[in-house]
Structures are given as C-alpha cells and as structure tokens.
Amino acid sequence: MYTLLSGLYKYVFQKDEYCILILGLDNAGKTTFLEQTKTKFSRNYKGMNLSKITTTVGLNIGTIDVGKARLMFWDLGGQEELQSLWDKYYAESHGVIYVIDSTDEERLGESKNAFEKMISSEVLEGVPLLVLANKQDNENCLSVSDIKTAFSDCAPKIGKRDCLVQPCCALSGQGVNDGIEWMVKCVIRNIHRPPREKDIT
C-alpha cells in the first residue's frame, strides 16, 4: 500500500528537471528576461525592478515550474572573456535560449559569431534552441526577418534541432510566455526521442 501511495504521490507531484542555458552578448537582456520569466511563472516571486537590472557578470540562476516540468535556468555572462566559460555548461543543458539585442546593429556580427561558435559545439547537437529577438519595443529595432537574414549562414549548423526565432520584449514580457512554452514542449519531446545511433555504445 505504501509503495502504491508513494508511487501515486511521485506521479502527481514529482517534476522532471531540465537545465536551460541563457546565452548572448552582454547587454542583450538575458537577466531581464530571466527576471521576467520568474515573475510570470512563479506565483509568489517578488521580482526585481526590471529597469534596475545591470549586465550579468558571472552567473544568475532561477527555477520555474511549468506543469510537470521544472526548468532550471543558468544565465551566463556574455562579455567576451566570459564566453569562454559557456561550453563548461553545455553537457548539462537540455535547451539553450540565445538572446539578441535587436537595437544593436553594430554588435550583430559579434553576436552572430558567438552564436555560431556555440551551435558548432557537438555537445549541443540536437538541443532545442530558442533565439530571442529582444527589445522589440524600440521602434528602430531590427525585425525577426532582419535577424534571420543576418544569421542565415548559421542555418546548416543548426541542422535538424528544434529552433525558433521569437520576437520579444523582456521589459514588458511580450513573447516571454510563448518562448517558454515552446521550450518546455521541445525539451520534453527531445528527452523522449530515441537515442541517435552514434550515441549507442
């Protein structure tokens, strides 16, 4: 009886845990996005004042529950010297959110290079990728279509993994729910995919 009840308890309350990396250049809006996500998805979370957030140095973490999934976010610093640390987290991650500052055309090439390097990692092969075209509240920002064009030569490296480019405003929360819900759906589907032949030893 105990086994039956504990099995039932686990079935109802136990969450499947997934690690999600939040990457992108410094000032892209990673921490604002993380705070907005925690505010939207955690009932009792008293968020920070979003306009007071300063650029990530080191690591910010956060956890949210969406249905039976528990997402644990690692928001990593995007400064050039910190990008070399990103790959230390790849092996543990089930999904990647890559944030682009759509108002910063000058650094778009730099962002593309960091993105291309990240998706070239074999460790991340098959891991769902959510690309956020952030700061869409700015009327002079690049559109999703401009960003897709600028990143178009990365397409072969993205390959068959799930990938979505989502317009977003981390400050107001526009696009945040859609992006997170897409990610949850993809990580759950991805974990239940049969292993690729090369992974079977």
Site map 150..169 versus ligand G3D, x via CB under 6 A: -------------------x
21 is in an annotated binding site: no
Which range binds ligand G3D by CB under 6 A, 21-29, 41-49, 88-96, 181-189? 21-29
Candidates 19, 114, 171, 176; binder of ligand G3D (CB under 6 A) is: 171
56 is in an annotated binding site: yes
Dist CA 1 CA 158 (whole Å): 49
44 is in an annotated binding site: no
Residue 108 phi/psi, 5° resolution? -65, -40
| Closest distance of CB 159 from ligand G3D, Å | 26
With 0-12 / 13-18 / 19 or more C-beta atoms within 10 angstroms meaning exposed / middle / buried, residue 24 is: buried
Sign of CA dihedral 34, 55, 51, 163: negative
Q: Are 54 and 87 in contact (CB under 8 A)?
A: no
Which range binds ligand G3D by CB under 6 A, 27-35, 90-98, 109-117, 146-154? 27-35
Is 39 a binding residue for ligand G3D by CB under 6 A? The answer is no
Q: Are 123 and 90 in contact (CB under 8 A)?
A: yes
CA angle 141, 117, 71 (to 5 degrees): 75
CB of 93 or CB of 111, closer to ligand G3D: 111
| Closest distance of CB 179 from ligand G3D, Å | 12
Mark the binding-site residues for GTP, compressed into ranges. 24-31, 78, 134-137
- Give me the residues that bind ligand G3D (CB under 6 A), please: 24, 26-32, 51, 53-56, 78, 134-135, 137-138, 169-171
